Amino acid sequence: MIEAIVVGAGFSGAVIARHLAVNKNKKVLLLDKRNHIAGNMYDKVDENGIIVQQYGPHIFHTNNERVYNYIKQFGTWEKYFLECMVFMNGKYTNSPFNFKTIDDYYEKDKAELLKERISKYYNGLEKATIVEMLNCEDEIIRGYAKFLFDNDYSLYTAKQWGISPSEIDISVLKRVPVLFSYNTGYFDDLYQCMPVGGFTNVIEDIINHPNIEIKLNTNVKDYLEFDLKDSVIKRDGTVLKVPVVYTGALDELSDYKFGLLPYRSLYFEYKTENIKSYQKAPVVAYPQAKSFTRITEYNKLPKQESIKTTIAVEYPIQYNLGGASEPYYPIITEDNQNKYNKYKSLFDKIDNIFICGRLADYKYYNMDQVINRALEVCDSLDLWFSK
């Protein structure tokens, strides 16, 4: 007998399904509409023997010890520090931008002056957001920030989100800071690592339990009925009393009652190059390219020995309902957040549904935030069962 249902076999669903199966000893049905587990973390070995992430590059990084201690139980992990670059004005430079960037684009005397002004003005701070620097009182620093914004941030953001940077939530522009040193490395988190053999192996390890039954190629609306009028969930006309965890898009689950929630999607063009190295870093942003945003070279993510290399050119596109695209990133604006809140209020009235994940929460989570959110939902489920 099924005692809990989890919809979505990505990190959120896998973590919660295991908690229910192991800690609560419940028989769990794990559903996914795709033909594979692992959600957007899904990876596989390609014809060149290189592990390729089908839905774009992911690297585990966190300062959250609870999350790190949880994830290291599954699979085998090795330290990995991501180096990224930007190809801008005909040159490669570090990402995040650092003092080397100043050296790359400024004459020596002007570069030294700018670094001195930054060190004095920010007085020991290691970094700042581009938003803060654009509002700096120092005219020279402000000019540097505008140079970066005009040649990278604004162009990349416009392509990535399909809207003007002035319309996007300010948190997006704050995701990649500017460093006030020669330090490199895309992240500065305490824990940075990658799974040996790929993320799919990790998800397999998490959900490998006799209490978990997996059904792929299954649309939740073909399996369950969400009666929003009576605030109940039904299966074959019978009201379900078991907990249901949902990690997908809320507008889809409620037949778009308040209209579509906008998402950005991605299209990847995979190419095999008969060389060992295509670009200077595993991930390089190309803000000034006409239509694509970045290129990932997978034999560097992590380093894999091969006589060829596999690259993925990444094109942001609008998510279209019913098309071949997948919803990747919620477009977080004030209007969209208000619309999401209307959807959320519908499901808040259902006692046995638990919402979790980037799509369900309509938040731009990093991987560790996804896992942390799933662990929070596990705590909520414990309280639900204790009632």
C-alpha to C-alpha distances, 248 to 7, 55, 101, 147, 262, nearest whole angstrom: 7, 16, 40, 39, 14
DSSP string, 181-211: SS---S---SEEEEETT-HHHHHHHHH-STT
How many whole angstroms separate alpha carbon 131 and alpha carbon 135? Answer: 7
Instruction: At 69, list the tokens.
Output: 């201690």
Long-range contacts from 102-109, C-beta under 8 angstroms, 24+ separation: 102/144, 105/147
Instruction: Please give the order of strands across the beta sheet that includes 212-215.
Output: 212-215, 28-31, 4-7, 244-246, 353-355
Structural domains in the chain, CATH included, are: 4-44+196-262+331-386 (3.40.50.720), 84-179 (no CATH)
- Between β-strands 4-7 and 28-31, what pairing exists: parallel, antiparallel or unpaired? parallel
Q: Phi and psi for 79 in degrees, rounded to 5?
A: -60, 140
pLDDT by residue for the chain (387 residues), tens digit each? 999 999 999 999 999 999 999 999 999 999 999 999 999 999 999 999 999 999 999 999 999 999 999 999 999 999 999 999 999 999 999 999 999 999 999 999 999 999 999 999 999 899 999 999 999 999 999 999 999 999 999 999 999 988 777 777 777 788 899 999 999 999 999 999 999 999 999 999 999 999 999 999 999 999 999 999 999 999 999 999 999 999 999 999 999 999 999 999 999 999 999 999 999 999 999 999 999 999 999 999 999 999 999 999 999 999 988 778 899 999 888 899 999 999 999 999 999 999 999 999 999 999 999 999 999 999 999 999 998
Mean pLDDT of the chain: 96
Q: How far apart are CA 44 and CA 319, in angstroms?
A: 24
Q: How far is CA 11 from CA 85, 245, 266, 283, in A?
A: 28, 13, 20, 23
pLDDT tens-digit series, residues 217-260: 999 999 999 999 999 999 999 999 999 999 999 999 999 999 99
Q: Which residues contact 290 (CB under 8 A, 6 or more apart)?
A: none
Residue 239, beta-bridge partner list: 234
* Contact (Cβ atoms closer than 8 angstroms) between residue 214 and residue 234: no
d(CA 65, CA 44): 28
